């Protein structure tokens, strides 16, 4: 059976709906792994417009029954740093998300990665 197609618009709308909101928010474009159209990572920025904000990263995927799922990957509530998605790669049902920050608020640059299996 062929994998379902997840559009960037579907993923971004879902993250906008389920992600945090502080009033001055923005959902960034979906990042798909090369050769895949059923899974992506999406970054959600939540800001209050004056002095507090943070990013949340999500993995979004569509299963064979066309149901869309999501999982929070990471957030910067504690550090308030902007978080960038550096790479999304896929090997079968194993998805690797590499992400990090230049230390925009904390002053300490960092990188991390998570490997997740699609359910």
Distance CA 64, CA 57 (A): 23
Q: What is the pLDDT of residue 106?
A: 84
Determine contact, residues 68/61, Cβ cutoff 8 Å: yes
Eight-class DSSP state of 107: S
State the DSSP string of 26-84: EEPPPBPPTT-SSEEEEEEEEE-SSS-EEEEEEEEEE-TTS-EEEEEEEE-TTT----E
Tens place of pLDDT per residue across the chain (119 aa): 456 899 999 999 999 999 999 999 999 999 999 999 999 999 999 999 888 899 999 999 999 899 999 999 999 998 999 999 999 999 988 999 999 999 888 889 999 999 999 87
Nearest to 55 by CA among 27, 95, 13, 35: 27
Predicted TM-score (pTM) of this structure: 0.93
């Amino acid at each position: 059976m062929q994998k379902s197609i997840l559009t960037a618009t579907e993923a971004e709308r879902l993250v906008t709906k389920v992600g945090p909101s502080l009033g001055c928010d923005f959902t960034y474009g979906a990042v798909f792994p090369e050769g895949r159209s059923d899974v992506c990572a999406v970054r959600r920025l939540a800001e209050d417009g004056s002095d507090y904000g943070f990013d949340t990263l999500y993995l979004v995927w569509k299963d064979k029954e066309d149901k869309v799922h999501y999982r929070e990957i990471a957030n910067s509530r504690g550090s308030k740093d902007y978080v960038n998605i550096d790479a999304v790669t896929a090997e079968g049902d194993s998805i690797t998300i590499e992400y990090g920050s230049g230390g925009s608020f904390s002053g300490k640059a960092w990188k991390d990665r998570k490997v997740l299996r699609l359910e």
